[in-house]
Structure 1
């Protein structure tokens, strides 16, 4: 069998016109476009095992997505140094592979990850979102209080059962550890929520944002989002925030490559398919 090498791909995309990450036969997806382009450059089936850190939903963007593929070592030797430019010429403009790095075979874009970090952008300006940012910024019709948003966020940090905020999957746990959740108001007035956790279940980030926005505009008390953690089923009271305000901005991995395999082993023990 030919020797194979593993490549880490750092990817960005505007999710507006994609039906999410995962390949779907009749829909345009990020993974589908990447596979088609790799096949075009390298030959059908040459790049195998495309695995992503976080399978984003339809309309969700990424500036820090990570995935890996496996290639025959001989093919990589022939393309190293020029494959990135070939992909740049052939990929559509709403998805970019920013870097390609050879990594140990133990690296797993999904299971070796230590955290995923998302940002959600909201404007409460009375005139709405800036036309140049309309694809990644939610326009909110009510004024939002930054202190209320951060107080609500504080009740959601830590390890909890987030069943109230997740679309449940059979045999999948909803236990997650949120290590960071806070809001800031940038100089341009845009409110940005930063949400970081070891992993997220489907629709969890947008559900958390939806609950916090209800507290931030005064429709719910600031204690309400945290209080929902006592529930063991998805809450019908939580409105999932629209997808276009959400961007996956970073995925973390062990600093020492020797930790890739052990981290993947721990992650596999903790949970079954996640992300969304």
Structure 2
């Protein structure tokens, strides 16, 4: 980096997570964050994650994709060139908008996170599924839907909305934060309950009859749609072109990527 004054920036990033071992850096593993940090270092935007105060918003699991994750770091790199510089080093990850933020900005302290799960249609009773969704909204102890590593299982889900997306039911989850694999566990019980494979009385964080086992829905159908950090981002016009090219390439891939591509295309057209 140059000797110019450093400022803290936030970037919106999107990625196809199917070829990565999750977002967070892991020794010996190919991860989204690892690829991003390597690209930032290679173009000279940062010297090291620690020295630049690198931070990220959401640590998506292996196979999970994103349209609006947020990373932040200090840099003296020209702001108008950061997105295009990073994107020149990456294939299925790209930065598409940027914002200058205060030095104490922490994307982990987001106002709200929005995830969407694409549940393949297969005999679900939509009325039952919507009733089950209501059971999870609000503040609850999600111990049954958490792992032992989660020290505080209390969470507040703001909303769960269900809509029709052709071959899929789109389940939109909004909350300040979620436990590890929490959404995929909730989707699993909602699917099993709405298809008659689970006792409805056993479903929900307040259910008196506890389930012996709660499975995990496949990660490939989960998308981190957006993270609201209370920041106004500016779209990088050159990234818009890259998004369109990425969408065209991904249209040739499997069904989940078709969905991902449609959202990426819509994102570029709406200028988000």
Q: Which TM class, normalised by the smaller chain length?
A: 0.7 to 0.9
Contact 2:163 2:171 in 1 (8 A): yes
Asked if 1:114 corresponds to 2:111, the answer is: yes
Whether the aligned pair in 2 keeps the contact of 1:146 and 1:184 (CA below 8 Å) is no
Task: After TM superposition, give the deviation of residue 147 of structure 1 in Å.
Answer: 1.2
**Contact 1:146 1:185 survives alignment (8 Å):** no
> CA distance change for structure 1 residues 215 and 235 in 2, over 3 Å: closer, same or farther?
closer
Decide which of 132, 151, 162 is 2:131's aligned counterpart: 151
1:132-171 deviation line (CA, Å, top 9, x unaligned)? xxxxxxxxxx41121111111011110001000011226x
Partner of residue 63, structure 1: 67
Match of 2:40 in 1: 38
Equivalent residue, structure 1, for 2:217: 241
* Contact 1:152/1:225 (8 A) holds in 2: yes
2:103 pairs, out of 105, 110, 132, with 105
TM superposition score normalised by structure 1: 0.76
3-state DSSP class of the match of 1:109? Answer: coil
Q: Distance in 1 between matches of 2:79 and 2:67?
A: 23
Alignment CA distance shift 1:69-1:43 (3 Å): closer
Contact 2:20 2:32 in 1 (8 A): yes
Is the Cα–Cα contact under 8 Å of residues 62 and 247 in structure 1 kept in the other structure?
Answer: yes
Q: Paired residue for 1:95, among 90, 93, 97? A: 93
Superposed CA RMSD in Å reads 2.2
Residue equivalent to 2:54: 50
What's 1:265 paired with? none
CA deviations 1:156-202 (Å, max 9, x no partner) are: 110001000011226x201000010121123x242111111111111
Structure 1 residue runs of 5 or longer lacking an equivalent are 125-141, 257-276
Task: Single out whichever of 9-18 and 98-107 deviates more from structure 2.
Answer: 98-107
SS of 2:203's equivalent? Answer: helix
Q: 1:181 aligns with which of 151, 157, 160?
A: 160
Residue 144 to residue 199, structure 1, CA distance change in 2 (3 Å): same
TM-score under structure 2 normalisation?
0.77
Per-residue CA distance 1:56-90 (angstroms, 9 max, x = gap):
1111111111111112xxx23xx221222122221
Aligned pairs (5 A) from 1:1-276: 3-42=5-44, 45=47, 48-71=52-75, 75-76=76-77, 79-92=78-91, 94-111=92-109, 113-124=110-121, 142-169=122-149, 172-186=151-165, 188-226=166-204, 228-230=205-207, 236-254=212-230
- For 2:144 and 2:163, locate their aligned partners in 1 and report how far apart those are by CA, in whole Å: 25
SS of the aligned residue for 1:108 comes to coil
In structure 2, do the counterparts of structure 1 residues 19 and 236 end up closer, same or farther at CA, with 3 Å as the change threshold?
farther
Q: Secondary structure at the match of 1:25?
A: coil
Residue deviations 1:182-230 (CA, integer Å, cap 9, x gap) = 21123x242111111111111111011111111121112444322x435
Q: Aligned residues, how many?
A: 227
Distance 1:181 1:26, change over 3 A: same
Asked if structure 1 preserves the Cα contact closer than 8 Å seen for 2:141 and 2:153, the reply is: yes
